[in-house]
Structure 1
Amino acid sequence: MGEWFEKQRRELLQIIEKYTPEDGAHDTQVPGLRLIRASRLSEPVYSVYEPSLCIVAQGSKMVMLGQEVYQYDPSSYLTASVHLPITGQVMKASRETPYLSLQILFDMNQILDVIQVFGEAKRARSEVGRGLKVSRMNDTLLDAVLRLVKLVETPQDIPVLAPYVIREIIYRVLQRENNASLKQFAVIGSHAQRIAGVVERLNRDFAQPLRVDELAVEAHMSASVLYDYFKEVTGMSPIQFQKHIRLQEARRLIFSGSISAAEAAFQVGYESPSHFSREYARMFGLPPVRDVSRLRSSFNEITVSE
């Protein structure tokens, strides 16, 4: 990375630092733009990534999808093309040099529009690839992202300029090699777009019994083809994907203090609390009550330190 790139990166992190007075994710007036700050290394955080572009201005982050590990820092960026259950962890951060990053949520209609303009829609119909990808950062993409973030300082310009800058960012990402993971999901009727519909269904109806045959009919695929494509996109089988979504939601419910572990188990679709407890411990390392107690202690430590 050259001197010009480093200058752009420093300007980007200065703006992010200015508009993130405390740790956490901060929405902005720019539609879909979220600024993120962390002043300490994090425990693994389980969440669902929305279709988005994620860029680090300072520090580094590790993301796990199933058994696959993705790490990115200022020299790279991550694209998520479909809603995916991931484990994220800030790997490099301190109070003096906080982790600073941003996320731009994707509008699939905007992506499709850009794809159609430069004639990639037909080829994208048959492409299927992983819904998460790390790519090398480049000067032109960083320049466009910086211009979008700078609009936070001139909110009167956002309605006019933001749609054009976002369009340019989409174009820059699609120009890069190995970009099938983004464009494939925007093309109506593509294999990947059908799998995205299945992913959306599982995210919405995760507490319902999983019936692959029904999902295959909806996706206009055979059950075996659906299974293969689904695993290619998400890195997991449909049942593994559902399990991740169920357990993450149960953890959120228990942590909120609104219901017990047994109640959370039934609410997310488990019929046996003991089965739920075993799978929960397998995923998070501890049974529900002990895990949530650990989370609360960690949360309280952060609150006190701040």
Structure 2
Amino acid sequence: MIGNQPELAELIERFTGRDGVHSTVIPSLHLIRCSNITTPIHTVHEPALCLVAQGSKVVMLEQMSYQYGISNYLVISVDLPISGQVIQASAEAPYLCLRLDIDPNQIFDIMKDSDLHSDKAGEFHRGLYISKTKSTLLDCVVRLVRLLETPQDVSVIAPLVIREILYRILNDEQGNTLKQLAMTGSNSYRIAKVIKQIKQDYDKPLKVEELAKLANMSSSSLHRHFKDVTVMSPLQYQKKLRLQEARRLLLTLSADAADVGFRVGYESPSQFSREYVRLFGLPPISDIKRMRMLPNWQSL
């Protein structure tokens, strides 16, 4: 462990106390505790910083694997369909992590006020990366979580500490990924606009020409650059969104699988079932039965 990592672990343990994802009085800050190794959990992860205080985790983006633990942090810069699996945890030493949601407007304001800039606006960076945790960043994070002890201070001090955390990340080795996201007109900014549109209309037919027009790119350029950022094509991305939303609906509603398939945009129940099996390994009903047997499945 580095610096005050033990204090961060103690704070997260104190403010969670049980497994699950826990909201805090700081709206963008969530604390995560897990006392056992998990199966891969699929989700659409929004932009965030994830920093582990104890244990370790593997995140899969398509076929690419990213492992991180107490010596490094994870940044997701755009909405990405991923799967995550806790690989080091026990009742005695649970997996402890925090997630700080990132607002691109915050990045823009920091860049503007601090005169930060990216010299590589034409380059594309993957929307997920791992970097080594430095003591300066860890110190900021601990101070943020420590504010949970004095909630009366949160409204004034938390925005300042969050700003410092984001500033540290922007100045780190891979900070260009976030910088480009805030640069209006940059290629990464335009891909982020396309991602937002696909997410908004995930249940509608995908119109690549309209997305290319939105990004001010040709269809072939959009396809290539979209894959640079997300490791998948726009159509593959949409399928992941549809299937993960279908799984969420099946878990939370008493609904027929075919009806859910239609609801998320599939015209054929058989196609929905085939693609569901391809992603999750089991047909919809069997998969939902398996999911509901998992401990704390409501918080997945």
TM-score bracket for the superposition, by shorter chain length: over 0.9
User: Are residues 1:63 and 2:59 paired?
Assistant: yes
After TM superposition, the structure 1 stretch with the greater mean CA deviation from structure 2, 42-51 or 111-120, is 111-120
User: Are residues 1:161 and 2:152 paired?
Assistant: no
Q: Do 1:124 and 1:187's aligned partners in 2 also have CA atoms closer than 8 Å?
A: no
Q: Do 2:212 and 2:222's aligned partners in 1 also have CA atoms closer than 8 Å?
A: yes
User: Are residues 1:25 and 2:16 paired?
Assistant: no
Q: Which residue is equivalent to 1:144?
A: 140
Q: Which residue is equivalent to 1:258?
A: 254
1:50-102 per-residue CA deviation (whole Å, 9 max, x = no partner) reads 11100000000111111111111010000000111110111111111110000
Mapped to 1, the partners of 2:294 and 2:27 lie a distance apart of 32
User: Are residues 1:192 and 2:188 paired?
Assistant: yes
User: Are residues 1:49 and 2:34 paired?
Assistant: no
Q: Do 2:118 and 2:176's aligned partners in 1 also have CA atoms closer than 8 Å?
A: no
Displacement of 1:179: 1.9
Mapped to 2, the partners of 1:41 and 1:86 lie a distance apart of 18
Q: Which residue is equivalent to 1:283?
A: 279
Count of aligned pairs? 298
1:202-235 per-residue CA deviation (whole Å, 9 max, x = no partner) reads 1121110011111011111111111111101101
Q: Which residue is equivalent to 1:13?
A: 9
Return 5+ residue gaps in structure 1 as ranges. none
Displacement of 1:298: 2.2
> Cα RMSD (Å) of the superposition?
1.5
User: Are residues 1:224 and 2:224 paired?
Assistant: no
Displacement of 1:122: 5.5
Q: Which residue is equivalent to 2:30?
A: 34
Q: Which residue is equivalent to 1:113?
A: 109
Which of 124, 130, 140 lines up with 1:128 in the alignment? 124
Which of 86, 98, 106 lines up with 1:102 in the alignment? 98
Q: Which residue is equivalent to 2:200?
A: 204
Q: Do 2:118 and 2:180's aligned partners in 1 also have CA atoms closer than 8 Å?
A: no
Question: What amino acid is aligned across from residue 108 of structure 2 in structure 1?
Answer: L
Q: Do 1:65 and 1:85's aligned partners in 2 also have CA atoms closer than 8 Å?
A: yes
Helix, strand or coil for the counterpart of 1:15?
A: helix
1:123-150 per-residue CA deviation (whole Å, 9 max, x = no partner) reads 3532321000011111100001111111
Question: What amino acid is aligned across from residue 148 of structure 1 in structure 2?
Answer: L
User: Are residues 1:172 and 2:168 paired?
Assistant: yes
Mapped to 1, the partners of 2:209 and 2:240 lie a distance apart of 20
- TM-score of the pair, normalised by structure 2: 0.95
